[in-house]
């Protein structure tokens, strides 16, 4: 009898593909609800997304900011958040207050209000789960890239976890709203540029020809580290001129559904929750 497959065998994105077959609204950084509503949910887990000695305020900032980044990738505006906590009973109350201070600090910058949540006890690793509701008049999906489009990223890539940037980054909400007028497809770079380019291939059924010399960051980390939370997007060539003064052009969209780096195939290497641990 053949052994039963595990989530490690198929990986994070293999599992997502299987689940998404039965979830019609899935497939983007947020679920797009009727009327332009945006809904997203992301956890941060002790030992995976932050270390036990990470200051609580920074944990809170990251927990909220990574969800705000999903709204940014859709060209939307955040509105309301609810927060669920898994805490050890020995956790100091001050730690929880600082956690919420971090969440409120970044949410408040973008007009987002925490309106509720829940708590539970855990025996080991603590976690924070933020669920965020937003809105976009014209949601930018992953599926709109067209052959001939120019590919951009909003900022530098790589080294986010080792440098601590993943705890202090500013989600690109203002950039996302600006780009909603131009972008054919958009995603936030959370699992690594190489991996997230392949997510766009799957959604748009096109390919990407990327120039390594144009990537704003040191290779290979800029391709595979993840936790950058910059926006990766495509625009028509006629719209690219003004954007070249603001953002980093890194390549173009091609017809063949592959990712090329300097003309050679680039594998979907990046962070996979079930294949590795930080």
pTM recorded for the entire structure: 0.91
Distance CA 133, CA 117 (A): 13
Domain membership of residue 84 (yes or no) is yes
One digit per residue, the tens of pLDDT, for the chain of length 278 reads 456 888 787 776 677 677 777 766 666 889 999 999 999 999 999 999 999 999 999 999 999 999 999 999 999 999 999 999 999 999 999 999 999 999 999 999 999 999 999 999 999 999 999 999 999 999 999 999 999 999 999 999 999 989 999 999 999 999 999 999 999 999 999 999 999 999 999 999 999 999 999 999 999 999 999 999 999 999 999 999 999 999 999 999 999 999 999 999 999 875 656 565 44
Segment 202-205 long-range contacts (CB within 8 Å, at least 24 positions apart): 203/27, 203/28, 203/141, 203/142, 203/143, 203/145, 204/142, 204/143, 204/144, 204/145, 204/146, 204/253, 205/257
Identify the pLDDT of residue 29. Answer: 82
Q: Which of 102, 135, 168 is the last residue of a domain?
A: 135
Q: Which of 135, 152, 182 is the last residue of a domain?
A: 135
Domain membership of residue 273 (yes or no) is no
CA atoms in the 13 A half-sphere facing the CB of 137: 5
Identify the pLDDT of residue 34. Answer: 92
Residues 259 and 176 in one domain: yes
Burial of residue 14, with CB atoms counted within 10 A of its CB: 0-12 exposed, 13-18 middle, 19 or more buried: middle
Residues 259 and 266 sit within 8 Å (Cβ to Cβ): yes
Residues 102 and 169 in one domain: no
Range of the domain at 101: 26-135
Q: Which residues of 134-169 are buried (b: 16+ CB within 10 A; e: fewer)?
A: bbbeebbbbebbeeebbbbbbbbbbbbbeeeebbeb
Identify the pLDDT of residue 269. Answer: 77
Residues 78 and 63 in one domain: yes
Residues 116 and 185 in one domain: no
Residues 124 and 196 in one domain: no
Q: Which of 71, 104, 135 is the last residue of a domain?
A: 135
Domain membership of residue 88 (yes or no) is yes
Q: Which CATH number covers residue 36?
A: 3.30.1330.10
The torsion angles phi and psi of 39, rounded to 5 degrees, stand at -135, 130
Domain membership of residue 275 (yes or no) is no
Residues 204 and 142 sit within 8 Å (Cβ to Cβ): yes
Residues 147 and 128 in one domain: no
Phi-psi region of 192 (alpha: psi -120 to 50; beta: other; left: phi over 0): left
Identify the pLDDT of residue 2. Answer: 53
Residues 235 and 258 in one domain: yes
Domain count, the chain: 2
Identify the pLDDT of residue 1. Answer: 42
Which tens digits make up the pLDDT trace of 11-70? 766 776 777 777 666 668 899 999 999 999 999 999 999 999 999 999 999 999 999 999
């Amino acid at each position: 009898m053949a052994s039963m497959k595990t989530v490690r065998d198929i990986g994070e994105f293999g599992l997502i593909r299987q689940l998404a077959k039965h979830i019609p609204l899935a497939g983007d950084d947020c679920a797009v609800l009727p009327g332009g509503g945006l809904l997203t949910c992301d956890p941060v887990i002790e030992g995976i997304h932050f270390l036990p000695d990470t200051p609580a305020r920074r944990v809170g900032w990251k927990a909220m900011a990574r969800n705000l980044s999903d709204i940014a990738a859709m060209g939307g505006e955040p509105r309301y958040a609810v927060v669920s906590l898994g805490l050890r009973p020995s956790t100091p109350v001050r730690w929880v207050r600082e956690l919420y201070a971090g969440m409120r600090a970044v949410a408040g910058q973008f007009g987002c209000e925490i309106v509720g949540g829940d708590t539970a006890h855990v025996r080991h690793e603590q976690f924070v789960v933020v669920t965020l509701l937003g809105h976009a008049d014209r949601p930018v999906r992953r599926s709109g890239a067209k052959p001939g489009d120019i590919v951009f990223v909003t900022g530098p890539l790589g080294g986010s976890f080792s440098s601590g940037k993943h705890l202090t980054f500013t989600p690109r909400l203002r950039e996302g709203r600006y780009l909603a007028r131009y972008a054919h497809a958009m995603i936030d770079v959370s699992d690594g540029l190489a991996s997230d380019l392949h997510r766009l291939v799957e959604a748009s059924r096109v390919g990407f020809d990327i120039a390594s010399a144009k990537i704003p960051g040191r290779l290979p980390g800029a391709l595979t580290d993840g936790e950058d939370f910059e926006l990766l997007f495509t625009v028509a060539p006629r719209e690219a001129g003004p954007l070249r003064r603001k953002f980093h052009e890194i390549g173009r969209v091609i017809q063949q559904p592959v990712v090329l780096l300097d003309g050679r195939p680039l594998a979907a290497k990046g962070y996979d929750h079930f294949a590795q641990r930080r």
